[in-house]
Amino acid sequence: MKPAVMNKFGRTDLEVTSFAFGTAPVGNIFREIDDATSEAMFDHAWEAGVRYFDTAPMYGHGLSELRTGHALRWKNRDDYVLSSKVGRVLHPAPRGSIDFAPWVNAGAFRMEFDYSYDGTMRSFEDSLQRLGLERIDIVFIHDIDVYTRGAEQPEVFRQAMDGCYRALARLRDEKVVKAIGVGVNEWEVCHEALKQRDFDGFLLAGRYTLLEQDALNEFLPLCEERGASVVVGGGFNSGILATGAKPGAKYNYAPAPEEIMTRVAKIEEVCADHDVPLAAAALQFVVAHPAVASFCAGTRTVGQLEHNLAWMNHPIPAEFWTTLKDRGLLRQDAPVPG
């Protein structure tokens, strides 16, 4: 498995690298990253052959898009694929009036959810301005899931299907963008969206991993049937599949429960027997599915990025995957590398 391997994105003529550079960290999530570190990571990813970059207005209240555009501005625009998102409109505001949490020292914009047709068009145009680039290739409708919107999710989903989808379908028809999709934390939301509308792909955070394969039941088969691609973010389940089952390990943004710690410890035993880093197995497993075009990961340092790229390259014997399945640690029907 190589990070620079190109995979077709859905039914489009786009090709994305199997490893994507995620830009939430350069939006200063949880703590600040300076401009020099941000630029160094973009440069290192490019030198390693990464040619797919994902951003969003939400990430750092616009800061991620500003930094992404700065890093890519003088690259040949046909040499990479860029995705961003709609569903929030940013409004300039005094810094002292903005609640930035969980972002730190972010952009001077307050965020407002807006899934209307007009709001989608404004969000898209604003993103182009912040990026300073002539186009965005893929646009995802962002955060219309239960995790983000709670009890109001059904109404938010309806608004997005009526408003965002109509705007994005027009942009696609007019060839302003090449692909449209949904970016959420739940495969069920992606599945319902694909049943209702004509989407090209999805950005799914954390719901198809070494620990979770329920998406194999309905969603991923429908993606294959409809020619839709999936970009998997959060493939380390918020950390535990990178750190292992150590004290304080995170699973889904919270301390990992005991049953998850136990399962990961059992996977780590198989990793040790076959000299396979847990993180390498987690990363390579995801992109083995034919519907998954890319693994999207954000990093805080060049060192973290180098680790991700090395894990993508690490050789994994076929016996490793067989052992996981034999021990009931991986579904029998899960596609594996090889």
Structure tokens at 254: 């919270």
pLDDT score recorded for residue 223: 98
3-state class of 139 per DSSP? strand
Question: In this structure, what token pair is assigned to residue 2?
Answer: 């190589």
**pLDDT score of 84 more than 70:** yes
State how far the Cα of 48 lies from the Cα of 291, in Å rounded to an integer.
24
Q: Are strands 52-54 and 138-142 parallel, antiparallel or unpaired?
A: unpaired
Active-site option among 52, 54, 126, 165: 54
Question: Is residue 8 annotated as a catalytic residue, yes or no?
Answer: no
Distance CA 127, CA 211 (A): 34
Q: What local confidence, expressed as pLDDT, does residue 1 receive?
A: 65
List pLDDT tens digits, range 231-240. Answer: 999 999 999 9
> Is the pLDDT assigned to residue 244 strictly greater than 80?
yes
**pLDDT surpassing 90 at residue 267:** yes
Q: Which of 227, 235, 338 is nearest to 286 (CA)?
A: 235
Alpha-carbon distance of 136 to 223, in angstroms, equals: 23
pLDDT in tens, 289-308: 999 999 999 999 999 999 99
Residue 279 has pLDDT above 80, yes or no: yes
User: Pick from 59, 76, 185, 126: which is nearest to 68 by CA?
Assistant: 59
- In this prediction, residues 2-23 reach a mean pLDDT of 96
**248 contacts: CB under 8 Å, gap ≥ 6:** 255
Token pair for 236 = 């380390």
Q: What Cα–Cα distance (Å) separates residue 118 from each residue in 84, 108, 183, 264?
A: 17, 22, 20, 46
Q: What is the pTM of this model?
A: 0.97
Average of per-residue pLDDT values in the chain: 97
Amino acid symbol at 183: G
Strands (DSSP E) along the chain, which ranges? 6-8, 15-17, 19-22, 52-54, 81-86, 88-92, 109-113, 138-142, 179-184, 201-205, 229-233, 250-251, 254-255, 292-298
The answer to whether 118 is a known catalytic residue is no
User: How sure is the predictor about 312, in pLDDT bands with cuts at 50, 70 and 90?
Assistant: very high
Cβ(156)–Cβ(144) below 8 Å:
yes
Q: Please tell me whether the peptide bond between 221 and the residue prior to it is cis, using omega within 30 degrees of 0.
A: no
For residues 22-60, b (16+ Cβ closer than 10 Å) or e, as one string? bbbbbbbbeeebeeebbeebbebbbebebbbbbbbbbbb
Average pLDDT over residues 131-141: 98
For 73-85, what is the mean pLDDT? 98
* Phi/psi at 126 (5° precision): -65, -40
Average pLDDT in the 25-42 region? 97
What is the band of 338 on the pLDDT scale with cuts at 50, 70, 90?
A: confident
Does the pLDDT value for residue 274 go beyond 70? yes
The shares of helix, strand and coil residues in the chain, as percent rounded to the nearest 5, are: 45, 20, 35
CA angle 7, 9, 10 (to 5 degrees): 130
In 3-state terms, what secondary structure has residue 68? helix
Amino acid in position 32: E
The CATH class of the 6-327 domain is alpha beta
Q: Round to whole Å and give the CA distance between 335 and 213.
A: 10
DSSP code, position 110 = E
Provide the percentage of residues in the chain whose pLDDT is more than 90: 98
The answer to whether 37 and 228 are in contact (CB under 8 A) is no
The confidence score (pLDDT) of residue 256 equals 96
Model confidence pLDDT, tens digit, residues 192-231: 999 999 999 999 999 999 999 999 999 999 999 999 999 9
Q: Which among 2, 13, 35, 85 is annotated as catalytic?
A: 85
Angle at the Cα of 112 (from 110 to 113), degrees rounded to 5?
150
The position carrying tokens 């519907």 is 291
Confidence band of 181 (pLDDT split at 50, 70, 90): very high
Q: Which of 2, 13, 52, 59 is catalytic?
A: 59
Q: Looking at residues 15-28, what average pLDDT do you find?
A: 98
Distance CA 17, CA 296 (A): 10
pLDDT, tens digit, 9 for 90 and up, residues 88-131: 999 999 999 999 999 999 999 999 999 999 999 999 999 999 99
**pLDDT tens per residue across span 51-63:** 999 999 999 999 9
Domain ranges of the chain: 6-327
85 is catalytic: yes
